[in-house]
Amino acid sequence: MPVLEVVLGDLVAQRVDAIVTAANESLLGGGGVDRAVHAAAGPRLAEAGSALAPLDPGDAVATPAFRLDPPVRHVIHTVGPVWEGGGYDEAAVLASCYRRCLAVADTLGVRSLAVPAISTGVYGYPPAEAARIAVSTLRTTRTGVAVVRLVAFDQGNLELLRSELLAQEVS
């Protein structure tokens, strides 16, 4: 199981082997964190993504990192669920995003991975529930990834992730 870290910061500035972006099914770049990743990696990221699209919710694929600064070598794209009230297997799809990202990272030999809070932006997933699923799934999934850094985009998200990590460490 990987060591989990929680930080407040810019996902594209993390010094890791790979970063995860919360993508849409087209992999052409969307809003929020995906827009920032595409802006930093350059237009070749969208070209590479379009060759792999469409991507189903809960799945993940990788592309090169293009213009992202080393040591980042890969971008792992995953499509999270749109929150529809919790009755449409959103939790299972969200957990699958994290598991599939780790599986893809394993195939690439990734040892350090930075991950955003998937689906908590425009997709509307309740942040506290998303934090619980992220931490639980990342803590219990077998992987060769040594360090997973959960990158919070604001102070509220940071506190939710830290609290969840502490709660699950004691249980």
CB 41 within 8 A of CB 13: no
Q: How many CA atoms lie within 13 A of 54 on its CB side?
A: 4
Calpha distance 53→63 (Å, rounded): 12
Quote the distance between the C-alpha of residue 38 and its chain's center: 14
The single residue of 34, 69, 89, 106 carrying the catalytic annotation is 34
* Run of H or E including 88: none
Q: Which residues pair with 74 in a beta bridge?
A: 18, 64
Mark whether 10 is an active-site residue: no
Could you give the residue numbers annotated as active site? 34
